[in-house]
Structure 1
């Protein structure tokens, strides 16, 4: 009689661990951007723009009818 042994190398477990690790990294990056405001410098920008209205030239006086 021949003796047969079956062994499972567990190759699927490595792929599953890689996928779960990738998901953990993605969740960590999303949490960083949501709770810390991301990589912004949080500078306060205050812009005040003012301009004077243009002065229009005086319109010429209308001519008298028939003249």
Structure 2
């Protein structure tokens, strides 16, 4: 019988594909969680709400 000496040779391409996917996911995770290294903008929110006075209608007297 002939011995199979080519074990594992066919998986080299698959290893490069999986390695590439891992690298791409690591880069995406960096930009998502670190926000691309950019500093967040300081925003000042000042809301002033002025509503007119609302009164109930007069009840007719008996």
Question: Which TM-score band applies after superposition, normalised by the shorter structure?
Answer: 0.5 to 0.7
Out of 43-52 and 26-35, give the one that drifted further.
Answer: 43-52
Query: Contact conserved, 2:30 with 2:36, CA < 8 A, in 1?
Result: no
User: How many positions carry a matched residue from both structures?
Assistant: 58
Q: 2:58 is matched with which residue?
A: 59
What TM-score comes out, normalization by structure 1 length? 0.53
Mapped to 1, the partners of 2:11 and 2:22 lie a distance apart of: 17
- Greater fraction of residues in helix: 2
Measured against aligned partners, the alpha-carbon deviations of 1:45-65 in whole angstroms (never above 9, x if no partner) come to 6251403243325524522xx
Q: What is the Cα deviation at residue 11 of structure 1?
A: 2.4
Alignment of 1:24 with 2:23, yes or no, is yes
- TM-score w.r.t. length of structure 2: 0.55
Work out which of the two has the higher radius of gyration on C-alpha atoms and give 1 or 2: 1
User: Where does the alignment leave 5 or more consecutive residues of structure 2 unmatched?
Assistant: none
